[in-house]
Chain A
Amino acid sequence: MIERQTLKNLRAQLIFLIIVIIGWQVMSNSGMVNQLTFPSVTSIGHALVRGFTQENMAEYVLYSLSLLIRGLVIGILLAFVFSSFCMISRTVYSIYNMVTSICDLIPGVALIPIAMGWFGIGESVIIFIVVHGVIWPMSRSILGGFSGINRMYVEEGKIFGLKGARLITGVYLPATLGTLISGIRMGWARAWRGLIAIEMIFGTTGSGAGIGWYIFMKRTNLNYAGMFAALIVIILIGIIVEYLVFQVIERKTVVKWGMV
């Protein structure tokens, strides 16, 4: 029953997409719009192929992803370290909670000039901004997860003889994994959006250039088809991360454990 409904939805979504694509193509070729700024589906397709075959789009994407992953890992680790300190006392918790609430309000892009003053010019600035994008929502979900944890699991852990760090890795982490995954998911989404915005503003860093930069170059060239091609790549990456990373992780953990 459920599967049949899913299939039906999938079919409807596919038909809708095809209609949009056909409509787009017709619209673009109709002469009612400026074909430069409203490129046809075929020219977007060409731009996409050209991007990968002639312009090393894959390299741009991989570079962006490498920055993102480094930032994500650092951000998540820091969030864990800080959040673990919060387990020490209510005072630390309340201070860190305040810091999180304040810092969460600052858009990463607004920090670029300051970050450049601190870290100079280079990848470290971009990573700093990615870390900023990740660490606060991640801290929120860690703290939220830890304070919302079923106390019984913690008490059982203590009865078994767990203390300190072993209690955190043995009980807190697995018990709050669902919340943690949604925190990482939120952090990733923010970091990814922020990263692209920063690449477009901050430009090349001397050692490489990412997908945001690719869009910027296409903008310089007034190549709207190229910009749409880059957007499609960004969407595809989002879909891949959601379905091949997060949903797989969830299926192998919290779904398998019946925790959702």
Chain B
Amino acid sequence: MKLRKTFVFLIALALFSVTVLTGCGTGSVSGSGSAEAEKEKTVTIAMQNGMSYAPLTIMKEQQLVEKYCEGVSVKWVTLNSGSAVNEGMASGEIDFGGMGLSPAITAVSSGLKIKIASSMDSMPNAVMSNDPDIHSFADIQKDDKIAAVNMGSFQHILLAMAAKKQLGDAKALDKNIVAMSHPDGMTALLNGSVNLQITNPPYLYQEQKNSTLHEVEGIADVWPKGNSTIVLTATEEIHDQHPKRYNGVIKALQESIDFINDNPKEAAEILAAAEELSASEYQTWLENEETIFSTECKGIMTAAKFMDENGFMDNPAPESFSDLAFDNVKGN
């Protein structure tokens, strides 16, 4: 009997500590009002590392959201993949998330209550090779290895688009893909442990300068210059219920993109400092004619259709542009 009481006490103690330690119950029990109020005043934006997310870095460094959303505190989180950003948005922790085009499309199609709020940039993607025998996709053999950031990443989709166009089968190169981050892939390409890599700036610009590597043409045909590659998504909740904050962030993004386009030198200094890189080199990357920062979407329905038709998604693609993006977004 006594033993049983002790057990009950221990269980109660354990439950109590879990509640306190995770901060779970405290808000909802004692201060539901204040938690609500706090949420009222914050906006959480998830970004990822790299040049593709330059508009968000500038927004953060120049405190542009604070400028357009007075009294709102901004929380920035940096995650390492679109999937992780989507998971954060699914759990309700994140309001805005920067990600590649394909995770955004996948998220909308799988029923996550988010949409594209703006395009951010169009970056060139290209397949680079260290193998002089490989000039076209048809030259890629069974045991050649292609580094790509991930299966299901936008680079993978682009590769599949090109494979479909050149080889007639979107999945023709799937077995050749090895998942590696862009910098790891570049190392692997340079030391020969992979033969090919599909990558984007700044790695692409660095690789293009290396005389031992050459480009295998094909990506630009299926994803021409100017087509969106990186977008900002937002939850329906923030769009529908907090239009002030939603619009504030969109305005901040517009200003950030304008700033990069108008003042590449200053932007490069800010961005280079954030990533510990040389500012002058960064500036050349920003000024490269293939690097385009714009809020206007281009090609996202094309990508969605392709992903749907070629089995990249478990659920059907959104039917129209308005299913995929909020009404403020211009483009196709």
Contact = CB atoms under 8 A, between A and B. Distances in A.
Q: Please determine whether chains A and B interact with each other in the same assembly.
A: yes
B299 interface: no
B145 interface: yes
Contacts of B107: 222
Contacts of A101: none
Interface stretch (B43-51, B173-181, B251-259): B173-181
B152 A217 contact: yes
Contacts of B91: 34, 37
24 contacts: A36-B90, A36-B110, A36-B111, A37-B90, A203-B179, A204-B174, A204-B179, A206-B145, A206-B176, A207-B175, A208-B175, A217-B151, A219-B83, A220-B83, A220-B152, A221-B313, A222-B83, A222-B90, A222-B106, A222-B107, A222-B110, A223-B110, A223-B314, A226-B314
Interface in A206-251: 206-208, 213, 216-223, 226
Which among B151, B193, B314 has the greatest number of chain A C-beta atoms within 10 A? B314
Nearest to A213: B151
B86 interface: yes
Contact of A221 (B106, B150, B180): B106
B270 interface: no
A205 interface: yes
Contacts of A120: 193
A202 interface: yes
B194 interface: yes
A121 interface: yes
A221 B178 contact: no
Contacts of B174: 204
A116 to B, nearest CB: 8
A149 to B, nearest CB: 39
Interface of A: 34-37, 116, 120-121, 202-208, 213, 216-223, 226
Interface in B91-138: 91-92, 103, 106-107, 110-112
A220 B151 contact: yes
B216 interface: no
Interface residues of B, number: 30
Contacts of B86: 222
Nearest to A201: B179
Contact of B193 (A121, A202, A208, A219): A121
A216 B314 contact: no
Contacts of B188: 121
A223 B111 CA distance: 9
A213 B180 CA distance: 14
Contacts of B103: 220
Nearest to B193: A120
A37 B92 CA distance: 11
Contact of B178 (A121, A208, A222, A226): A121
Given A36-B90, A121-B194, A220-B103, A203 B150 contact: yes
Contact of B90 (A34, A121, A216): A34
Given A121-B178, A219-B83, 11 more contacts: A37-B90, A121-B188, A121-B194, A204-B174, A204-B175, A205-B178, A206-B176, A217-B152, A220-B103, A222-B87, A222-B112
A161 B90 CA distance: 70
Nearest to B82: A220
Contacts of B178: 121, 203-206
Contacts of A203: 150-151, 177-180
Nearest to A34: B90
Contacts of A213: 151
B314 A218 contact: yes
A221 B111 CA distance: 10
Nearest to A47: B314
A132 B188 CA distance: 24
Contacts of B176: 206
Please provide the 4 A-B residue pairs with the shortest distance between their CB atoms, ordered closest to farther.
Answer: A203-B179, A220-B152, A222-B110, A223-B314
Nearest to B149: A203
A121 B175 CA distance: 13
Contacts of B313: 221
B112 A206 contact: no
A109 to B, nearest CB: 15
A221 B177 contact: no
Contacts of B179: 202-204
Given A34-B90, A36-B90, A220 B175 contact: no
Contacts of A217: 151-152
B62 to A, nearest CB: 32
Interface in B61-92: 83, 86-87, 90-92
B303 to A, nearest CB: 15
Nearest to B147: A121
Chain A CB within 10 Å, residue with most, of B83, B91, B110, B180: B110
Contacts of B106: 220-222
Contacts of A34: 90-92
A195 B193 CA distance: 22
Nearest to A225: B314
Interface in B219-257: none
Nearest to A121: B178
